[in-house]
Structure 1
Amino acid sequence: MIPSKSILLTIIIACQLIVVLDASVMVTAIPEIGRSLRMSTTSLTWVQNSYILAFGGMLLLGARAGDLLGRRRMLAIGIGLFTLTSLTAGLAPTAGFLLVSRAVQGFSAALATPAALALLSASFVESKERSRAIAMYSSVSAGGGSIGLLLGGLLTDLISWRAGMLINVPIGVVLLILVQRHIQPTGTRKGRFDLWGAMSSVIGMTALVYGFVQAADLGWGNPATWIWLAAGIVSLAAFVRIEARAAEPIVPLRLFASRQRSVAYLGRFLLVSGNFSLFFFIPQYLQNVLGYGSLQAGLAFLPFTGAQFAMMYLIPGLVNRFGNRKVLTAGLLLAILGTLWLSRIVYVQDGFFPLMFILLILMGIGAGMAFQPLTAMGLSDVEPRDSGAASGLVNVAHQSGSSLGLAVLVTVFNGMLPADPPSRLEFAHGVSASMLGSVVFLAAALVAVLLGFVTARKTATAMDA
């Protein structure tokens, strides 16, 4: 059965929503998880990072699996395993069981996500419909974190933190049925899996993140911190070397021959590094400093989410009129302005409305304007044989930015706390410092984008001459 494009897009967006949502659905529940399973603050960061690292680290292998074994097949396998591990995470009796379930859940998301994005890229080829589809996909990718905060807070307050995992089970079953009914089997081809490349990338990112977590927990003077960081750098260097020599790499280095795609991957990595930490720190600020409950903390992100999703309908028109570059630059400037302003008020603000409310709207507009152009640029002019790898790289940049950015900014946060437990004022000061770190990441994204555009323009002018 040939699916209508609206059904196909609905399936793809729903798949992307549940895997992105699960990166943040536990954030507003973190205090309750800590009490329930007796986990320390440092251990609780792994509720996030075990999922994100497995997700980001295995995305490239998942993209390769879709190319070789068929994208519909990998989409179905990924959704099925995701549904099962959501059940085990929701029923986890211990902290270790929860973290293992979250890691396998991340791996299953890595199988489904690149297959879904590759199906979108291959199915929507006409310029206008492609722009609309990518705008919707990008809005869900960026806004799913906010929805996760709200849903997690609601379920934690009304039922339990476990409900945030268990709710995926019926959704996953429905998606599996839709995939089987409405998506035709896609072609397979012969080839090899680049297992050494996949393992070196996973080990490298995990070691880097763990090194920063060690710095937050034990300090920069501890040798273990530097050993883990060095191991991460060496593993990532080995990954690049393996990919350069592999006959069938999971990351064909020719994808970076396009300056536009390279800028898109780097810009997305830096943008998410700065943006994702907001979902981690602001809900805790609202709960620990302003005294909000889990549901209230989730509801407080509605201005951000609403603004971001509103941009989904405006971005295609803006891009058609002004182009990806101008829209992306304006979005990054708005995100920087909103985050910088918010970082200065969190330790003197005695309420949420109106200033935090307005700034979250501004930050949501900026993020909404930035993600769609970055997605489109990351998939531009890709050969059909590389569509899976390109879609995998878009998501790798997103997830690795989430995990590494959070690890770095948790280190900044902990470095500002003179006491454990901190006072409300000390906690607010730590959040302010971490948000200034977010501004640094966002500013780096803007610089990378502007330099990439200037260099690309000079290259084009030279070629014309």
Structure 2
Amino acid sequence: MASSADLAQAPPARARRGRHPGITLTVIAAAQLMAVLDITIVNIALPHIQQALAFSTAGLSWVVNAYTLTFGGLLLLGGRAGDILGRRRMFVVGVLLFGLASLLGGVAGSATWLLAARSLQGVGGAIASPTALALIATNFAEGRARNRAFGVYSAVAAGGGAIGVLAGGMLTTWLSWRWVFFVNVPIALAVALLAPLYINESARRPGRFDLLGACTATLGTGSLVFGFIRASEHGWTDGWTLAAFATALVLLPYFLLHERRTAQPITPLHLFRDRNRSGSYAMMLCLAGAMFSVFFFITLFVQNVLDFSPLRAGFAFLPISVSIVAAAQIAARNQVRFGAKPFQVTGALLVTGGLFWLTHTSTVSGYAGGVLGPTLLFGLGMGSLFVPTMLTAVSGVAPHETGAATGTLNATQQIGGSLGLSILVTVYGAASRHEAARQLVRLSDHGTAAQLAQFRASGRLPAPYAQQVLAHGIASAFTAGLVFAVLAVLIAVFVIRRPATGA
């Protein structure tokens, strides 16, 4: 029997049917689509989930955050696992775990059950997603072939969120909210069966797992996000809010110290010595928060203010999906000619313009001017950014650290999304409370007898007044998101350096 050392040094296994780049890329992209799509596919179904499982408003936000936090917090460990145990092997394990968790989520009978399933989905995604990106480097030669593969992968990663909202609308309207989870099961099974046939395995590297680093990173980030969400409802002086921030203040610095001292960290800090790579990580951290928030708040706006059905709300996001995919393909095809920086600067400026437009959201905003225009601008910007940012993150990285580099990139996206959304939800909550008090005065002064009776019976503002509160809160949240986008522009302009040649 071969020893573990022999296995670690064994040459990479080959797919039994040779090289089929089209099928290989399809299998990898399908797994990434499943992981990214699940971040937003539940957004459209959230009102139905809340009604079916008796979620509170605060609890409902954890249907999103339970997934993104475990996903982002464990991505670094997932990338490391692929380096040590084999990327294809861990890719299959992650996909199957994701499919199992999706099945459990679809049959959930309580809020606690669903949140546990969402957390397990995040674990599966954290294993599959970084190994999927690293498998592109394993299966495609550097140069034009790899750039094209990254272009397809990036289009899926960028457009998956919008596709998820569209699919969520269809499934919720035609079937039920449970199918936003069930849909992952056949995809996971197909990917797990095809991967050993068409994806080459990577060489396994000897090493150890940095479990302490993974735990401190995940718990520290989770505490930070919990603190912001708790503050949005209970205030900044609440005991749990303060305890959460204190925990994050201890764990996150300790994570950095531990990573500096340990022999085999999940995040090799020397990866950040490269200025362009660090700048790209920082840009992804800022822009992911803005991206998650656009999908979250626009979904609320079109359903609760514009009164769209779930299906119509899903189709309302189709243009942004097309713009993201189109811009990602253009960026991929022109990387060699122009380099990464022009696309990063242009993309960040477009995102900033789209968010600035969204800060003017109000109850009189129609779909064409209030949603379609700014989200198209936003989509073109995000699509322009994904390919150069991904290529910069893995450029010049040693083969045995590809998993760590891609895991760090994905982690900054997921953690940035969770943290950014929690900050914007906090801004939304504060602005909404202020506006609700103002609308209550308006109701008392100008409301009809029927509206006043409705408020006294339910304690909730009638629809016209509640829509004003929602729209004001959303506009305030986008103002905070605009700050993230401006930071990304500054990073793209002043931190990212353009190479001497466009290669």
- Give the TM interval when normalised to the shorter protein: over 0.9
Question: 1:336 aligned to 2:336?
Answer: no
Task: Mark the CA change 1:308 to 1:450 in structure 2 (over 3 Å): closer, same or farther.
Answer: same
Match of 2:10 in 1: none
Q: Which amino acid aligns with 1:177?
A: L
User: Which of 175, 178, 192 is 2:191 aligned to?
Assistant: 175
Match of 1:463 in 2: none
Query: Cα distance, 1:448 vs. partner?
Result: 2.0
Q: Distance in 2 between matches of 1:226 and 1:449?
A: 34
Match of 1:290 in 2: 306
User: Which of 463, 466, 471 is 1:428 aligned to?
Assistant: 471
Asked if the contact 2:138–2:202 (Cα under 8 Å) also holds between the matched residues in 1, the reply is no
User: Which of 203, 207, 224 is 2:240 aligned to?
Assistant: 224
Q: Distance in 1 between matches of 2:365 and 2:260?
A: 54
Q: Which amino acid aligns with 1:134?
A: F
1:201-254 per-position Cα deviation (integer Å, ceiling 9, x unaligned): 011110000000110120112232122112112211011111101111111111
Which secondary structure does the structure 1 equivalent of 2:202 belong to? Answer: coil
Question: 1:279 aligned to 2:292?
Answer: no
Q: Which amino acid aligns with 1:307?
A: S
Asked if the contact 2:227–2:244 (Cα under 8 Å) also holds between the matched residues in 1, the reply is yes
Q: Which amino acid aligns with 2:284?
A: R
Query: Cα distance, 1:10 vs. partner?
Result: 1.1
Match of 1:450 in 2: 493
Query: Cα distance, 1:290 vs. partner?
Result: 0.9
Task: Mark the CA change 1:324 to 1:232 in structure 2 (over 3 Å): closer, same or farther.
Answer: same
Query: Cα distance, 1:320 vs. partner?
Result: 3.2
Is there any run of 5+ residues in structure 1 with no aligned partner, and where? 461-465
Which secondary structure does the structure 1 equivalent of 2:495 belong to? Answer: helix
Match of 2:426 in 1: 411
Question: 1:147 aligned to 2:190?
Answer: no
Match of 2:398 in 1: 383
Question: 1:97 aligned to 2:140?
Answer: no
Q: Distance in 2 between matches of 1:45 and 1:414?
A: 12
Asked if the contact 1:318–1:327 (Cα under 8 Å) also holds between the matched residues in 2, the reply is no
The worse-fitting range, judged by mean Cα deviation, of 297-306 and 353-362 is: 353-362
Question: 1:163 aligned to 2:179?
Answer: yes
Which secondary structure does the structure 2 equivalent of 1:221 belong to? Answer: coil
Aligned-residue Cα RMSD (Å) equals 1.5
Q: Distance in 2 between matches of 1:266 and 1:233?
A: 20
Query: Cα distance, 1:318 vs. partner?
Result: 3.5
User: Greater CA radius of gyration, 1 or 2?
Assistant: 2
Query: Cα distance, 1:355 vs. partner?
Result: 5.1
Q: Which amino acid aligns with 1:370?
A: L
User: Which of 369, 387, 393 is 2:408 aligned to?
Assistant: 393
User: Which of 285, 288, 296 is 1:269 aligned to?
Assistant: 285
Is there any run of 5+ residues in structure 2 with no aligned partner, and where? 1-15, 437-458
- TM-score (normalised: structure 1): 0.95
The worse-fitting range, judged by mean Cα deviation, of 350-359 and 387-396 is: 350-359
Q: Which amino acid aligns with 2:28?
A: I
Q: Distance in 2 between matches of 1:6 and 1:23?
A: 26
Q: Distance in 2 between matches of 1:208 and 1:33?
A: 25
Query: Cα distance, 1:300 vs. partner?
Result: 0.7
Match of 1:352 in 2: 367
Which secondary structure does the structure 1 equivalent of 2:334 belong to? Answer: helix
Q: Distance in 2 between matches of 1:379 and 1:268?
A: 14
Task: Mark the CA change 1:38 to 1:350 in structure 2 (over 3 Å): closer, same or farther.
Answer: same
Query: Number of matched residues?
Result: 456
Asked if the contact 2:169–2:313 (Cα under 8 Å) also holds between the matched residues in 1, the reply is yes
Q: Which amino acid aligns with 1:443?
A: V
The worse-fitting range, judged by mean Cα deviation, of 187-196 and 39-48 is: 187-196
- TM-score (normalised: structure 2): 0.88
The worse-fitting range, judged by mean Cα deviation, of 308-317 and 327-336 is: 308-317
Q: Distance in 2 between matches of 1:359 and 1:57?
A: 31
Which secondary structure does the structure 2 equivalent of 1:356 belong to? Answer: helix
Q: Distance in 2 between matches of 1:219 and 1:142?
A: 34
1:169-196 per-position Cα deviation (integer Å, ceiling 9, x unaligned): 1111111111122224433232211111
Which secondary structure does the structure 1 equivalent of 2:24 belong to? Answer: helix
Query: Cα distance, 1:6 vs. partner?
Result: 1.7
Match of 1:79 in 2: 95
Q: Distance in 1 between matches of 2:194 and 2:200?
A: 11
Task: Mark the CA change 1:409 to 1:28 in structure 2 (over 3 Å): closer, same or farther.
Answer: same
Q: Distance in 1 between matches of 2:239 and 2:97?
A: 38
- Deviating beyond 4 angstroms after TM superposition, the runs of 4 or more aligned structure 1 residues are none
**How high is the sequence identity, in percent, across the aligned residues?**
40
